[in-house]
Structure formats: structure tokens, C-alpha cells
């Protein structure tokens, strides 16, 4: 691993990729589906490998993953595959953090990113690190809500003010020790919908750094075409 001279702390990426993507209804896990001619996970990994701010990239897959070796070569520089994926995304992240304990310092920054967000760019990575790299509570990419929001939680239909509402994206970036503690001590794992929510349970407030629509999460088959449209455009961040 190489030291990053532009920042006082080393930055590493952690990509949980042990999910099956049931809503995609595909023959293989969705992270291996082709987008613009390459497996989705390949695009995701390439964004980190192309960033001079990222010292190393770790990809967490399930122990029996039969696809990863055709996407990430075992001897590829700058990236390590960890076969310790868990039953849930949080389990995979925790297992990954524990697996790299000897290689990552407590103060290093860990950028956790969804494998199914192939539109990430080195520019967005830089924007997050520059904007929240020194924040004690970490930070994440997010988009402000621009549509009118309706709620059916009460009786009838209600309009919810959208001021101050954001849609969380990834990467979500925290000091290694903070993220490990937040996920390990979470009182209700089912209440954790992203890594930032676990950190919030410790009383900290991660910074929101405005992301980009191209960094969408591919969940349904129709999302593939949208992702390809964005990825056909150059990185403008």
C-alpha cells in the first residue's frame, strides 16, 4: 500500500459485495451483471483504483462466490478480495473491517461503497474526502430531495416539507475505529439502514456532501439503462 501525500490520513475503500440482488431477478448476483460491457462490480472497483486518494480497495464477497475471480484477478495490484461476506450488508462490512484489522489503523478513513453503484467517479471520491475528511463524525454523499414528498403514515395523505431532506448515497466515510465501534455496538441492527445511521446512534452527525444522480443504486432491471446513460458521460465532478 502507498501513503497518500495529500491527506494526513490514509484512505481505503471497502465494497460489500456478498448480496444476491433478489429484486433484479437475474441468473447471477446483480453486482456481476454487465453494464456498458463490463460487470457492475468492475466499474465500481475501477473508480477507487483510478483515485490517487485511495491507498487500497477491499471487496467483501461470500465464501463460495464463484464469479469474483473472473472480475478481479487474485494478483491485481491495489485491490484485495475478502471471502468473509455475511448474511446481511452490515455483517459483511463488520467481517471485512475485522479481516483488515492488522492492515488499517484506527485513524484511517474507510469509504464504504455499494457494489451496485457503478456510476461512482474519482471526482466524487475526491469531493467526499476533501469535504468531510477531517470531520469527527465522518460524512457521506447525498442528494437533496427536489420532488414533493407525500406521506401515508397517518390517516389520509399528507405533504411532507422537503426542506432539509436528503437521499443518502455511498461512499459513506468514517474513521476505521469509529465505524467498527458503531456497527459492533448498534443496539438494534434492524434499525440500521446505512452506515451513517449506526454512527448517528453514537450521538454523532456525519456531514452530507452533495453527490450526483449518476451515482444511483442499480436495484431494478430498468436501472441498468439509466446507469449506462450516465456512465456514457465524462466525469464532471
Calpha distance 217→175 (Å, rounded): 24
Q: Is residue 93 part of a domain?
A: yes
| Whole-Å CA distances, 43 to 67, 93, 108, 182, 183 | 15, 20, 24, 29, 27
**pLDDT, tens digit, 9 for 90 and up, residues 126-137:** 999 999 999 999
State which residues form the domain around 101.
Answer: 11-134+171-177+213-231
Task: Say if pTM beats, i.e. exceeds, 0.85.
Answer: yes
Q: Is residue 6 part of a domain?
A: no
Contact predicate 43/142, CB 8 Å: no
Please list the rounded mean pLDDT of every run of 10 residues in the chain (237 residues): 53 92 62 94 97 98 94 96 94 97 97 97 98 97 96 92 96 98 88 93 97 95 94 76
Q: Is residue 89 part of a domain?
A: yes
Quote the DSSP letter at residue 113: -
Contact predicate 151/65, CB 8 Å: no
Q: Is residue 2 part of a domain?
A: no
Q: For the chain, what's the residue count?
A: 237
Query: Based on C-alpha coordinates, what's the Rg of the chain?
Result: 17
Res 19: pLDDT: 76
Q: Is residue 153 part of a domain?
A: no
Q: Is residue 203 part of a domain?
A: no
Q: What grid cell was written down for 43?
A: 466499474
Q: Is residue 23 part of a domain?
A: yes
Residue with cell 468531510: 132
How many distinct structural domains can be found in the chain? 1
| Whole-Å CA distances, 237 to 39, 44, 56 | 23, 16, 22
Quote the DSSP letter at residue 129: H
**CATH label of the domain that carries residue 48:** 3.90.550.10
Q: Is residue 155 part of a domain?
A: no
Amino acid at each position: 500500500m502507498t501513503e497518500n501525500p495529500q491527506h494526513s490520513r490514509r484512505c481505503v475503500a471497502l465494497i460489500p459485495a456478498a448480496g444476491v440482488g433478489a429484486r433484479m431477478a437475474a441468473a447471477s448476483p446483480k453486482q456481476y451483471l454487465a453494464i456498458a460491457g463490463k460487470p457492475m462490480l468492475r466499474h465500481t472497483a475501477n473508480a477507487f483504483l483510478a483515485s490517487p486518494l485511495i491507498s487500497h480497495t477491499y471487496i467483501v464477497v461470500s465464501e463460495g462466490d464463484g464469479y469474483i475471480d473472473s472480475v478481479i484477478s487474485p494478483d491485481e495490484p491495489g485491490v484485495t478480495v475478502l471471502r468473509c461476506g455475511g448474511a446481511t450488508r452490515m455483517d459483511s462490512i463488520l467481517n471485512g473491517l475485522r479481516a483488515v484489522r492488522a492492515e488499517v489503523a484506527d485513524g484511517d478513513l474507510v469509504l464504504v461503497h455499494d457494489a451496485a453503484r457503478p456510476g461512482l467517479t474519482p471526482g466524487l471520491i475526491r469531493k467526499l474526502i476533501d469535504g468531510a475528511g477531517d470531520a469527527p463524525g465522518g460524512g457521506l454523499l447525498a442528494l437533496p430531495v427536489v420532488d414533493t414528498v407525500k406521506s401515508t403514515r397517518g390517516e389520509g395523505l399528507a405533504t411532507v416539507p422537503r426542506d432539509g431532506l436528503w437521499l443518502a448515497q455511498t461512499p459513506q466515510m468514517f474513521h476505521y475505529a469509529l465505524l467498527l465501534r458503531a456497527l459492533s455496538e448498534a443496539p438494534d441492527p434492524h434499525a440500521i439502514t446505512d452506515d451513517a445511521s449506526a454512527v448517528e446512534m453514537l450521538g454523532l452527525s456525519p456531514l452530507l456532501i452533495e453527490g450526483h444522480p449518476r451515482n444511483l443504486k442499480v436495484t431494478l432491471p430498468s436501472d441498468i439503462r439509466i446507469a449506462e446513460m450516465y456512465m456514457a458521460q465524462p466525469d464532471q465532478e
